[in-house]
Amino acid sequence: MSADQRVEGCGGSNGASTALPPLTPRTIGGKPSEAPGDEYQDVAPPPYSMESAIGLSVPLYQPHAPAPGTVIDPDMVEDHVSFLRTVRAFHDYKRQALAAREMRCTNFRKLQDQHRDLLCIDLDRILEKYLECIDVNGAFFDAICEASEELFDSYWPEGTTVLMKEVPPPTPLDMNKVFSTLRQFVRDWSAEGVAERDCVYKPILDTLDHCFPNRGERENVRVLIPGAGLCRLSVELALRGFFAQANEFSYHMLIAGHYIQNHVFESYQHKIYPYSDSTCNLVNRADQFAEVQIPDLCASEAIDALRDKGLSFGQLSMVAGDFTEVYAKPHQHKTWSVVATCFFIDTAHNIIEYLVIIYNLLVPGGYWVNVGPLLYHFADSADDMSIELSLGEVLTVAQRIGFVLNGPPSFIDTTYTNNQRSMKQLVYRCAFFVLQRPLVDKQTGQTGGSVEAEGT
Amino acid sequence: MSADQRVEGCGGSNGASTALPPLTPRTIGGKPSEAPGDEYQDVAPPPYSMESAIGLSVPLYQPHAPAPGTVIDPDMVEDHVSFLRTVRAFHDYKRQALAAREMRCTNFRKLQDQHRDLLCIDLDRILEKYLECIDVNGAFFDAICEASEELFDSYWPEGTTVLMKEVPPPTPLDMNKVFSTLRQFVRDWSAEGVAERDCVYKPILDTLDHCFPNRGERENVRVLIPGAGLCRLSVELALRGFFAQANEFSYHMLIAGHYIQNHVFESYQHKIYPYSDSTCNLVNRADQFAEVQIPDLCASEAIDALRDKGLSFGQLSMVAGDFTEVYAKPHQHKTWSVVATCFFIDTAHNIIEYLVIIYNLLVPGGYWVNVGPLLYHFADSADDMSIELSLGEVLTVAQRIGFVLNGPPSFIDTTYTNNQRSMKQLVYRCAFFVLQRPLVDKQTGQTGGSVEAEGT
C-alpha cells in the first residue's frame, strides 16, 4: 500500500451530523508499535518476570478473513500483526496491573507482625480501592479494544490472513505504552491536563490566531500536525476554523485517539485512574487513586456549541503512517500553510530530513511552529540511525534550508503526562520557535522551489 | 565478616597531618553493586549491543593472593568479585564511551551529501573535542581504579583467591553507574553543584547549627549519614566540628569517594567532562563539552584554613556496608545524636525497618533529619522485597514508633545530578522533616527503650 492510497476522513462544516464523523486513517508500511518512541513518558514498568495467577478470558475479536483470491501484501501482514499486538497490549492491561498489585500484596504479607502493627493503615481498604481502579481502567481499555475492530476494518477492508492466536504477546515496551496512554488521556483530554496544554498548545494556537486573524478564511488555511497523539491540538485547531490534519504513527495513539474522538459522546463520560499503578513518590496514599474524568471537551458537543454561536467547525482529518513516508511525496509539496510540531521533531532518525520535508510541505510564506525538547528517540539504539543535533544546529540547518527565523527561540518549562501530585516531576525546557518559508526561495530564486534530498 | 569487625578511619582534630587521613572502610556481606540503586540518576545508557573495534590494554591490578593456609569465606569472595567488577566497570568507561562516539560518527557518515552540506557544522572538530573529553574522563577513572587497589587491601588485608581474569564483565547497570558517577562528582564536589547542595544539604546543616549552636561541644555530637555517596555532607559536618560518620553500600560510591577524599590534594585538581556522553536535549553543542573542575573544596586545604582560624576539624569516619546490617546491632543503640538522611530512605526494601533502626540508633532527645523523595529503589523488581509507603504513611509509622514530629514536612524542589544546561530537568519535590526521639519513650515509659522488630 502506498502513502497515496490513504483515506482521509474529513468532517465538520460540510457535515450534517453533529457527532464528529469517524476518522478513517489507514496505515502506511512500517512497524509503528516497534519504534522505541514514547520517550517523554516516564512510567515505571510493572514487573514482567512475574506470572499472574489470574486468568482473564474476555474474548478478543478475530478480524475477518480476506475473500478467496484476495492477495495480501506481506508488508501489510506485518502491519496487521503490529496493530493486533497493540490491541492485545491494551487488553492485557488488567492482567499486568493485577500482577503488579498482587506482587505488592505479597510484599505487605511478608511483613512481620510488629511491622504490620506499626504500619497501622487499613491495608485491606487500600488494596480494595487499588483493585477497583484496575477494574475501571480495564473496562475503559476493553471499550477501546472493542472500538478498534472498526478501525482495523477501515484500515484494511479486505481483511487479513493473520489469526489472533498467531499474534505474539505484547513486549514490555508495548505494555509500558499502555500504562502511559492513561496519562496521555489526562494530558490531552482532561481538565487536569489544562496546565500542560496551556504551556505548549496555547503558544501554537495563539501564533495561528495572530497569523490568521480572520476566522472566515481559516477553512483554507491548511495546518498539518505530525505526531498528533490523541489529537487534542488538531481538534482545537478545527474548532478555531482551521483545516487541520493530524498525522500519527503509533498504533497505541491511533487506537486510543480513535476511541476518544469517535466513541465518546458527552463530556466527562469516563473516569479513569491514571496513577493507580504507581506506588512511588506519593505524598498521600489518596494520590495513587486520584480519579480523572475524561473528556473535558467532547468534540461533538463543542461543534454544537459553535453552531449555536453561528460559527463553523473547520476541517479535521487523520492520516496514519510514518511522517517521512507520507509527506515527502511531491504532491504534498507547497500544500500546507502551517506545520505545527509539538514534542515531535526528536522522533526523527534524521532530523535534517524532517526539516527538509517540512520546508517543502509549506506554501511560500507558510509557517513552521515548533514546541518541544530534543530527546531524540533513537539516540541510544545501536540498531537505528540517529542524528542528534543541538537546538542551535537545528536552527542553523533550518535557515540553510531556506527558513527565515524571526527572533531567537524562547523556552517553555513544562512537564509531559506528569502526575502533578508526585514528588517526581520531569520538566522539559521546550524550545518554542516560529520559522517562515520566504515568499521567494533564497537558494533557487524561484517562488517556492523544492529543496532536494528528502531521503535519509 | 561481621559488621562489628569493621574498621573505622577517624581523623581531624586529633590528627597531626593536614591531609585528610585515609578512610578505611571495610565491606560487610551482601552484593553492593548488584542492587538496582542509583534510581535518581537519569543517564541514558550508551549502546551495549555494539562491539567496539578499539582495543584498550591498560593493565588492571591483580590483588595479592592469601598467605598459604588462610581461609577465605565464600561470602567474602562474592564481595571481592563485586568490588573488582566495579573497578573493571570504571576501567571500561573509555571503551564504552568510545563505542558510543563511534556509533554517532557512523551515523553522521551515513548522511547523504546534501544533508551533510545542509548541516554545515565542523563535524571533525566536534568529534575531536568529543574524543578529548573521553580521554580526560578515562584518565580520571584510571586514577580512581589505581587508588582502589589500596582500598581493596584495606578492606581485605588477607588478600583474595579471586583472579582478575575470573571477574565477570560489568553489567549494563554497572556501566550506567560509572557514567552517572561523573555527575555525582559534579553534585558533591564542584562549584556547579552548589545549587543542588544548597537545596538539600543546607537545610540539614542549618538544622544542626540550630540544634547544636555551641561549636566547642560538637565533637561529642555524633552524626550518622547513611547513604553518604561521595561524602560531601559528612565532610561539611566534620568541618563544622561534628563527629560525622558516613555509611555507604555502593562500591561505585565507595571507590570514587575514596579517591576524591584521599587522593586529591588541592582544589580544582581535576577537570572532567560529565556531559560529554549525552547528545540529547542540548541547546548548544558546547553544552555537551562543558568542563567541570573538581573539587571546589579540598578537605585537607579546608582543614588548614580551619586551623588558621583557630578552629578544629571534628571527626570523620566511613563505614562500608548495608545500613540494616551494620546499624541494627544492639551496641549501636542510643549512640547517635543525629541521623541525617538525604536521598536515602527510599533505598529500603522495607522502610519500616529503616525507621525502627533509626529510632533505636538515636539517644533520647536525638534528631532524625531527612530530605528526599520516595522513589523506592526496589518498587519494580519482582525479585526483591519492597514496601512502598506514602509520605503520610512514613510519618504516621514514625510517630507510632515513638518519634515526635514538630510541624508538618516542607517540600524542597531540587534536581539530582542534573545537567543544568539541558532541556530535560528531572525535579524531585523532596520532603524535608525533622523528627525527634523523645527524652522518655511513650511506649515503654522508660528513658530510651528500644523498639523491637528491626529485622524484615
Give pLDDT tens digits for A102-130: 999 999 999 988 898 898 788 999 999 99
In the structure grid, which three cell numbers stand for residue B173, read together?
547497570
Q: Which residues contact B52 (CB under 8 A, 6 or more apart)?
A: B95, B96, B98, B99, B102
| CATH number of residue B213's parent domain | 3.40.50.150
Q: Which of A89, A59, A263, A80 shows the shortest CA–CA distance to A157? A: A80
Residues B105 and B168 in one domain: yes
- Write down the pLDDT at residue A55: 46
Dihedral, A353, A32, A43, B96 alpha carbons, nearest 10: -60
- Looking at beta carbons, which residues of chain A come within 8 Å of B443? none
Cα–Cα distance measured from residue A225 to residue A208, given in angstroms and rounded to the nearest whole number: 13
* The domain boundary residue, chosen from A151, A172, A193: A172
CB contact under 8 A, B424 and A400: no
CB contact under 8 A, A284 and B424: no
- Looking at beta carbons, which residues of chain A come within 8 Å of B383? 49
CB B391 within 8 A of CB A284: yes
Predicted structure pTM score: 0.87
Cα–Cα distance measured from residue A280 to residue A277, given in angstroms and rounded to the nearest whole number: 9
* The domain boundary residue, chosen from A118, A147, A172: A172
Using one digit for the tens of pLDDT, what is the confidence trace for A149-183? 999 999 999 999 999 888 999 999 999 999 999 99
**Looking at CA atoms only, how far is residue A57 from chain B in angstroms?**
24
Assigned domain for A393 exists: yes
CB contact under 8 A, B352 and A118: yes
- Write down the pLDDT at residue B306: 93
Assigned domain for A64 exists: no
Residues A160 and A179 in one domain: no
- Looking at beta carbons, which residues of chain B come within 8 Å of A391? 282-284, 423
- Write down the pLDDT at residue A441: 81
> In Å, how far are A75, B183, B242, B273, B297 from B189, measured between CA atoms?
55, 10, 20, 14, 7
**Looking at CA atoms only, how far is residue A277 from chain B in angstroms?**
11
Assigned domain for B43 exists: no
- Write down the pLDDT at residue B442: 74
CB contact under 8 A, B456 and A110: yes
Query: What residues pair up with A411 in beta bridges, in sequence order?
Result: A431
- Write down the pLDDT at residue A13: 32
Q: Which structural domain range is residue B289 located in? A: 173-437
- Write down the pLDDT at residue A36: 40
Residues A114 and A190 in one domain: no
| Residue B330: CB atoms within 10 Å | 9
Residues A285 and A399 in one domain: yes
Cα–Cα distance measured from residue A358 to residue A323, given in angstroms and rounded to the nearest whole number: 10
Residues A223 and A322 in one domain: yes
Cα–Cα distance measured from residue B102 to residue B92, given in angstroms and rounded to the nearest whole number: 15
Cα–Cα distance measured from residue A163 to residue B85, given in angstroms and rounded to the nearest whole number: 48
Residues of chain B with pLDDT under 50: 1-39, 41-57, 456
CB contact under 8 A, B392 and A280: no
- Looking at beta carbons, which residues of chain B come within 8 Å of A103? 382
Residue type, B103: M
Residues A140 and A277 in one domain: no
Residues A122 and A167 in one domain: yes
The domain tally of chain A equals 2
Most B CBs within 10 Å: which of A200, A343, A388, A389, as the mutation test of the B interface?
A388
- Looking at beta carbons, which residues of chain A come within 8 Å of B385? 107, 110
Residues A280 and A184 in one domain: yes
CB B168 within 8 A of CB B120: no
- Looking at beta carbons, which residues of chain B come within 8 Å of A400? 118, 120
Assigned domain for B369 exists: yes
Residues B139 and B180 in one domain: no
CB contact under 8 A, B114 and A279: no
- Chain B's closest residue to A386, CA to CA, is B107
Assigned domain for B36 exists: no
Determine the average pLDDT of the residues in A265-281.
96
CB contact under 8 A, B424 and A422: no
Using one digit for the tens of pLDDT, what is the confidence trace for A340-379? 999 999 999 999 999 999 999 999 999 999 999 999 999 9
Q: CA angle, A34 as apex, A30 and A36 as ends, to 5°?
A: 120
**DSSP one-letter string for B166-191:** GSPPPPHHHHHHHHHHHHHHHHHHSG
Most A CBs within 10 Å: which of B125, B390, B419, as the mutation test of the A interface?
B390
Residues B338 and B418 in one domain: yes
State what percent of residues in chain A have pLDDT above 70: 84
Assigned domain for A213 exists: yes
Assigned domain for B155 exists: yes
**Looking at CA atoms only, how far is residue B370 from chain A in angstroms?**
15
Residues A350 and A246 in one domain: yes
- Chain B's closest residue to A401, CA to CA, is B118
Q: Using pLDDT thresholds of 50, 70 and 90, give the confidence band for residue A415.
A: very high
Most A CBs within 10 Å: which of B113, B114, B115, as the mutation test of the A interface?
B115
- Write down the pLDDT at residue B452: 61
- Write down the pLDDT at residue A120: 79
- Looking at beta carbons, which residues of chain B come within 8 Å of A112? 453, 455-456
Assigned domain for A16 exists: no
Residues B222 and B362 in one domain: yes
- Chain A's closest residue to B423, CA to CA, is A429
In the structure grid, which three cell numbers stand for residue B6, read together?
569493621
A205 vs B49: which has the higher pLDDT = A205
A439 vs A31: which has the higher pLDDT = A439
Residue type, A410: S
